Amino acid sequence: MRPRRRTTLLAASLVLALGAGPLAAPAFAAPTPSAPVCSTAPSNKALCEAVGGLPDESTTAALVRLGGTGGSWQGSSGVRDLVSGRAADPDARFRAGSTTKVVTAAAVLRLAAQGEVDLDASVERYLPGLLGPEFKKPVTVRNLLNHTSGIQPGDSWGDTFEEQYAHRYDTLTPRRVVKSAVARGPAFAAGDEQQYLNINYTILGMLIERVTGRSYASEAARLVLRPAGMRHTYFPGTDPRVRGPHHRGYQAVPQPDGTTRLVDVTEWNVADRWAAGDMISTTADLERLVTALFSGRIVPEPQLREMFTVPATVEGAAHSAGLTRWEHEGTVYWLKSGARPGCSTAIAATEDLGLTLVYSLSDTDAKDTTANPVAERIREAALKS
């Protein structure tokens, strides 16, 4: 999607596009912001204030969970949808986007711990014939995990929101995406650089299926979701709906007359994201995931080290197996964000679980390259807790 600067909206000019798409939609007044629903932990007043005032121009709902040695806290704010104005549901499901990669990485690392996958082995050992002769240097499983494979992006439904929205009910298969990516040849020799791309984890999904003989979704559930207690998380496949309680998601689309239209993007077939980003989850389940992972209950040592190790030989590398390293005021945090139209999500924690943070926002420009202001407020408040 082409990067677009976050649009400033006026509450009085919010317009919804319902069902028919970006054209000829009825207008609705924006719901009046209500007070957030927060737990009573007095030390997290700042977090409660951080999610106040929703819906606003950037975010229609926010769900937050904070944990760690300082205690637990959760809060929600905003609305489930702009038509009814019903209060946000703290247990709502949402598209978790690229936080799916944490599950995929954990599944591969569990298979490695069981001796079924060698991280130093070439991908060709498990997927013979996948990479052509242009890939002169072998691409290892570890290269896929830490985004140093050099494999380029594959086909997509387009670069703009409008192009992608037009195909929201169509299916772009992971295998077509991989085939087109491989046909482009390598962007660099494996291990020489780091480039964060979905294609690495799409191929890991194929590898999981080839090694186990079962579907990616069933193996992700067996190896990760069930052991972590993630009872409300699933993989939708080609189903464009979100099952169970969920919020509506909207994309802000600037109009020629200077107004902004909010297009309902809740229903969307994300099959092409597959093992890289099609998971549907809840904040409680994502909190269970990071807690179980970091405590060693899903992936044992030494394989767990892969999640806390960035490639030492690649200058500027920040990505490990499934996570991203971020240092703030001398403390290292391991995090993963995810974004799909209408929703942005993040999980973060210190390695010792002294602090854990999960949030999901009904973001009106989730794919924007500038930070969502509500997300910034959440992070600032959480780090002060």
| Domain parsing of the chain, residue ranges | 11-384
For residue 289, the number of C-alpha atoms closer than 13 Å in the C-beta half-sphere is: 36
Per-residue pLDDT of the chain (385 residues), as tens digits, is 333 444 444 333 333 333 334 333 334 456 777 789 988 666 689 999 999 999 999 999 999 999 999 889 999 999 999 999 999 999 999 999 999 999 999 999 999 999 999 999 999 999 999 998 999 999 999 999 999 999 999 999 999 999 999 999 999 999 999 999 999 999 999 999 999 999 999 999 999 999 999 999 999 999 999 999 999 999 999 999 999 999 999 999 999 998 999 999 999 999 999 999 999 999 999 999 999 999 999 999 999 999 999 999 999 999 999 999 999 999 999 999 999 999 999 999 999 999 999 999 999 999 988 999 999 999 999 998 7
Say which CATH topology domain 11-384 has.
Beta-lactamase (3.40.710)
The answer to pTM > 0.85 is: yes
